Structure 1
Amino acid sequence: MIKPNPDLTHYNLEDFVTDLSFISWVLLPNPELSAYWENVRFSHPEQIKNMEQASKIISGITLKPAIFDQQEEDVLWDNIAAKTTIHQISHTTKLWRIISTAAVLLLVGGAFFLYQANRQVTYITAFGEKRTIILPDHSQVVLNANSKLHYLKNWGSNKKREVWISGEAFFVVNHLHQSGTILPGDNFVVHAGQLAIEVLGTTFNVNDRRGLINVSLVTGKVSLAVKAKKFVMKPGEVFEYQSGQDTIIRKKTKAVQKIVWRNNKLEFSQTPVIEVFKQIEDLYGYKVVVRNPKILEKKLTGTFVTGSESAFLKGLSIALDITFTKSSSKQLIVQ
């Protein structure tokens, strides 16, 4: 049995949503749990609203496969074990049902967030979906498909605002500095691989995929740091960093061309078709297999809508005069 938490006086919505006993009561109720949580409702009427909201969140969760490495998986199960007291198990299946319930990862709105022991918050989006995230300082992040963002939950004026990104995200950073000395908390830092992107308040895009980091500045001012070297960006500029190198390259591409994905679009200008296929792999999770090598000589120009996978592929088929065939092994055959 999962042991209920005896002290609920200071519980908030997050505490209920991550309480293993409460999760079990919502998803796999039994008489003992029902008696306990109904008594909580009676004894703590001030918590009824939080309990009802938490119940709706848990009941609306859709479990999808999340992509995370072995270290993250170990942390997850360690956290579950640390919060779970098992007194007696009569059947293996019963244990598995309880552990499965405890392993709910709060998949809300198509992305999941995991509060780890050090209060780290992690968001992961699946292929083909986006997520808008409001950070503790009210900065906004639009997380593109197949991407990951994490940060420490507790931010303060004496600490830098720091986030870590892999994949692609668009940032609208809340400007906190008003006048006088710049406090540590006024700074906002995005970590992408070996690259540190530091700002005060601005809007910019970061794409970190396949060992290549691309930063596009829309407004404000950004400082890029890598291996003790710093580079300053101006609005409209695009900088590119190849993992393992010690230099950053300024690209001629305009920044606005890099952020149309927020509106479910991709814009190409004489783009080699191999780069287009990489976009398909990154956004939808396919492995693109080209049967005719001559196709790789093609280039693409135009703006395409990505909100519908089938419509996007249909548009590419017409523009490039090619055909796409899906296989059962998540391959996309191009001919």
Structure 2
Amino acid sequence: MEEFKNIDDFLAKWASGELSDDQKKSFEQSEEYTYYKAILEGTEVLDVPHYNKEGLYQKVQAQKEKEGKVISLVPKWVYTTAAAVAVLFFGYIWPTNSATEYSTGYGEQLTAHLPDNSEVIINSNSTLSFHKKDWKNGNRNVDLNGEAFFNVEKGSNFTVETTNGRVTVMGTEFTVSSEDNFFQVVCYEGKVRVSLKDLSQTLLQGDAFRIHKGTVENWKMNNVEPTWIQGESNFTNAPLSQVVKALENQFDITINTENVDTDIRFTGSFTHGDMKIALQIVFESMDITYTFTDKNTVILVVK
């Protein structure tokens, strides 16, 4: 791309659709075109809000004038597209054979569409990744660390890999939650197969499965989708450690549990809209006192 002297300006205009026909034709015939096109297309699976192309372009120009020099690195020009902004905020997408990855922070949720149009809603402080090239060969595999709700299109086997176990389906709706010493799967529609090192179990609609510290638990539920999608986390006879983790992920706080038994069980829910109300609902019902040692740290003590 030797003829394009100012690469930042050029890529900003290309990403915004502002190139002339001659410029676009010349660029498409260059060796660099395939590389930059792969990066831009990689962002299309994300749901992103409407954006002001002109405003973003002006910000790029202002930043360049402030710096007084141009460094031709991909991350710099990526700021000129809203899709790329979503990539920088939620995760990273790279071309070639590397994995596509989506990540959420504390209190965040992200909806992503996979190559087969399956939909995934990723809960707070979680990461989902997959290799796009594998899907072209019918291998629908994703890796999950945290919690996500899957609405899977029918087709070949769809597999969710976690450090705790594997979930395989053909087409259905379900959630998977995988943390240290905790693994939970809930089937909302269809049928899923849960596979662990020395255990395999099939779940039908309304079935829920949990393994906590090596103990398997099964129960029934009536919800048509996970309540956390609507801003409320719900638990059925869940160990306190799971509830604490959910509170930490939602409100970006650290909860000290050294003085309480984290294996005691909680049934109920807490709202995502108000941290203090959420803490009151959970801990006061369990006769546990919570105290803030600073704005982000909570210590628990049995009453």
Query: 1:154 matched to which residue of 2?
Result: 133
Is 1:327 the counterpart of 2:294 in the alignment? yes
Q: Which stretch has the larger CA shift, 163-172 or 194-203?
A: 194-203
Instruction: Give the aligned partner of residue 101 of structure 1.
Output: 76
C-alpha separation in 2, matches of 1:288 and 1:59: 40
> In structure 1, how many angstroms separate the alpha carbons of the residues matched to 2:103 and 2:217?
29
Structure 2: distance between partners of 1:299 and 1:257:
23
Which letter maps to 1:120?
A
Whole-angstrom distance in 1 between the partners of 2:24 and 2:136? 35
Shift of 1:227: 3.8
Q: Separation in 2 of the partners of 1:270 and 1:103?
A: 46
Distance 1:22 1:298, change over 3 A: same
TM-score if structure 1 supplies the norm length? Answer: 0.61
The answer for the alignment partner of 1:305 in structure 2 is 271
Percent of aligned pairs with the same amino acid: 21
Map of 2:189 onto structure 1 = 219
Give the equivalent residue in structure 2 for 1:251.
Answer: 218
Q: Which runs of 5+ in 1 are unaligned?
A: 8-19, 27-33, 61-91, 177-185
Distance 1:147 1:137 in 2: 21
Q: 1:121 is matched with which residue? A: 100
Match of 1:141 among 112, 120, 124: 120
Q: 8 Å contact 1:218–1:235 — kept in the other structure?
A: yes
Q: Distance in 2 between matches of 1:154 and 1:106?
A: 20
Secondary structure in structure 1 of the residue aligned to 2:91: strand
Equivalent pair of 1:165/1:190 in contact (CA under 8 Å): yes
| Of 227, 247, 250, the match for 1:283 | 250
Equivalence for 1:163: 142
Instruction: Tell me the amino acid that sits aligned with residue 249 of structure 1.
Output: V
Measure, in 1, the Cα distance between the counterparts of 2:176 and 2:9: 36
**Aligned with 1:251: secondary structure?**
strand
Q: Mean Cα displacement is larger for which, 312-321 or 155-164?
A: 312-321
Name the counterpart of 1:187: 157
Aligned length: 263
> Equivalents in 2 of 1:319, 1:302: separation in Å?
9
TM-score scaled by structure 2?
0.67
Give, in whole Å, the separation in 2 of the partners of 1:225 and 1:273.
25
State the 1:24 CA deviation.
9.3
Contact 2:120 2:151 in 1 (8 A): yes
Unaligned runs of 5+ in 2: 28-39, 41-49, 58-66
Q: Quote the Cα distance in structure 2 between the aligned partners of 1:44 and 1:24.
A: 9
CA distance in 1, matches of 2:196, 2:221: 23
Would the alpha carbon gap of residues 325 and 6 (structure 1) be closer, same or farther in structure 2, given more than 3 Å must change? farther
Cα root mean square deviation, aligned: 4.5
Task: Give the Å deviation of 1:170.
Answer: 0.5
Q: More deviation in 135-144 or 294-303?
A: 294-303
Q: Is 2:7 aligned against 1:41?
A: no
Of residues 208-217 and 149-158 in structure 1, the stretch that sits farther from structure 2 once superposed is 149-158
- The answer as to whether partners of 1:106 and 1:113 remain within 8 angstroms in 2 is no
Q: Map 1:197-216; keep pairs closer than 5 Å.
A: 197-216=167-186
Instruction: Identify the residue that residue 47 of structure 2 maps to in structure 1.
Output: none
User: Are the structure 2 counterparts of residues 128 and 259 from structure 1 closer, same or farther at C-alpha, using a change threshold of 3 Å?
Assistant: same
| CA-to-aligned-CA distance 1:4-35 (integer Å, 9 cap, x gap) | 5879xxxxxxxxxxxx9448975xxxxxxx9x
- Give the deviation of 1:167 after TM superposition: 0.1
Residue equivalent to 2:207: 237
Counterparts of 2:197 and 2:229, CA distance in 1? 31
